[in-house]
Structure 1
Amino acid sequence: MLRSPYYPGNYPKNRDCVYLISQPVGKAIQLDFIDFDIEAAYDSRCLFDFLEIRDGDNENSTLIGHYCGGNVPETILSSMNYLWIRFKTDGSLQNKGFIANFSTIDVGCGGILRGSKMGKKLSLK
């Protein structure tokens, strides 16, 4: 389960929280939101508080979405075995935040592999 700080109470001001969901190679991640209430800008650009989700293991990975407001996002499905998530708040309004469940699904092959040294053999099961 993934939740904003203090959920179901209001999240704190001026936070920058990064979450990395990591699963074994050959798995993808499904993220399902149960509740979602993040301060929204009037023009829907999520300038104040937001949840950013990327398909990979860092802030340069492919952007899946940038979310705020009160509408629960659709189910998120990664294409690999990592999801990088950033929750950023400013110094003004605080809302309830979010809560989500994540699970894994089999994709059969592919993913991000890590080795500590070049030339190291990696074994896949």
Structure 2
Amino acid sequence: MPLLLYTLYRVLVFAAAFVLLWWAGADPLLAVALAAVLAFAVSYLFLRGPRDAAAVWLAGRAERRAQRGQRLSREAEADAAYEDSVVDTETGDTVIGDTVIGDTETGDTETGSGVDAGPERRDGDAGR
């Protein structure tokens, strides 16, 4: 909730600055740019308390998620797992957990980095 409150304060400061600049006769595009700069300055100078409260709230939320071992929502985790299974099925890879065992179609069992090292060098090419 502190994040929502801080965001609301910043939007209100931006809107007030924009309306004042527009009322003073500034071009609308210039009024938007100046209002953004003014809103940043005002929020930095005068909204320290709400900003710190929002930062503490976000840090606490991140810590609780880390303790649960949850990076994403359950729906996002399920979607990612399904997407991974589809990709693995299409490529023919055998996957156990997060480890790729090998390509079941070609019989390749190496689990290299996936980076092509280029053509192999022959002994005669060593000096070039």
Same fold (TM over 0.5): no
Which is bigger in relative contact order (C-alpha 8 A, separation at least 6)?
Answer: 1
What TM-score comes out, normalization by structure 1 length? Answer: 0.17
Q: State which structure, 1 or 2, has the greater radius of gyration over its C-alpha atoms.
A: 2
